[in-house]
Amino acid sequence: MQEERTVKYANDTITVLWRPDRCIHSAICIKGLGNVYDVRRKKWIEVNADTPEQIANQIDKCPSKALAYEWNATTFQNS
Ligand code: SF4
């Protein structure tokens, strides 16, 4: 099986995963956290532009699940 294309953006606390082939371009992420998601930037996801909790909450609203996240610090493990 071919592995799904995944782009990762990380800091010490959170890793944001973006699966571009799933994105339906609803722009919910951009409208919700425009400082984190900005398609005008080459690196369109900036994980240091808001708190990890805000980023995680926003990712939960992605309708296509193109966005996902993993906690990097064990103290934030919630799965
Ligand atoms: S919210 Fe999800 S589906 Fe919508 S543009 Fe962002 S990544 Fe794509």
pLDDT digits (tens, 9 = 90+) for 42-62: 999 999 999 999 999 999 999
Question: 32 vs 3, which has greater pLDDT?
Answer: 32
Distance 30 CA to ligand 1 centre (A): 8
Q: How many domains does the chain have?
A: 1
Q: What is the mean pLDDT of residues 22-43?
A: 97
The residue segments making up the domain with residue 33 are: 7-76
pTM of the predicted model, to two decimals? 0.89
Distance 61 CA to ligand 1 centre (A): 9
Q: What is the mean pLDDT of residues 18-41?
A: 97
Q: What pLDDT is recorded for position 2?
A: 81
What is the residue with the minimal CA distance to atom 8 of ligand 1?
23
Residue 35 sits in a domain whose CATH number is 3.30.70.20
- 58 lies in a domain? yes
Residue tagged 């930037």 (tokens): 41
- 2 lies in a domain? no
Q: What pLDDT is recorded for position 77?
A: 52
